[in-house]
Amino acid sequence: QEPAGGGDTPARPMDIIEATENALDLNRYMASVRSCGSGGAELASLTSSVDKTQSGYPLLGESLAAHGAFVEEALRRISATIRQKWKVARIALVVRLGVVEDRELSLIIAVSANRWRDAIDAAQYASIEIKDKLAASIAPQCLGKEPKAAAALAAVAAAAAVAAAEAAAAAAAA
């Protein structure tokens, strides 16, 4: 079911789009998305934490620690798509990069909207785009604890819709 469009609005400055090596503070991001005057009475959130006993691959954040700009660009594109599909007020898409300890947050998605269905559908869409598509495109290209940096970079670049030549140049420089 495709929801009614919210306009052709790109990611807004009030959106929180981060790929960071710092610990994620759920309360901070929830308060930012819930802030007064945002026009979004309904709030949907999804979080992921690290469970190192369940993964055979390096974690997404560990694989992409050196490529935060590409991850943030992919998150901005996801935010812009959300704004095209749903009428939302505020969006927070935050990925933890680098080494994350067991049980620490690795992903926060928070969306506010006037209608609960818009908030929930937008948060679900962001989760699918980040966890299933972005993570799935990178995980098979990682070996043991060391990812194939160029392959991981190309996968993130594809998710961010960056030209292959530009991604290759960035990989060569890395």
Q: Any idea what the CATH number is for the domain that residue 60 is in? A: 3.90.1170.40
Domain of 137?
Answer: 16-173
Q: Which pLDDT does position 72 carry in this prediction? A: 86
Q: Which pLDDT does position 145 carry in this prediction? A: 44
Q: Which pLDDT does position 5 carry in this prediction? A: 44
Query: Averaged over 126-141, what is the pLDDT?
Result: 72
Q: Which pLDDT does position 29 carry in this prediction? A: 93
Q: Cα–Cα–Cα angle for 64, 159, 118, nearest 5°?
A: 110
- For every residue of 1-17, DSSP letters joined together read -PPPP--S----TTSEE
On whether residue 114 sits in a domain, the answer given is: yes
On whether residue 5 sits in a domain, the answer given is: no
Measure CA of the first residue to CA of the last residue in the chain; give whole Å: 42
The string of pLDDT tens digits covering residues 4-26 is 444 444 555 589 999 998 999 99
On whether residue 87 sits in a domain, the answer given is: yes
On whether residue 116 sits in a domain, the answer given is: yes
The string of pLDDT tens digits covering residues 78-104 is 999 999 999 999 999 999 888 777 888
On whether residue 3 sits in a domain, the answer given is: no
Q: What is the pTM of this model?
A: 0.70
Query: Averaged over 116-144, what is the pLDDT?
Result: 77
On whether residue 103 sits in a domain, the answer given is: yes
| 119 within 8 A of 88, measured Cβ to Cβ | yes
What is the number of domains present in the chain? 1
| 109 within 8 A of 92, measured Cβ to Cβ | yes
On whether residue 11 sits in a domain, the answer given is: no
On whether residue 7 sits in a domain, the answer given is: no
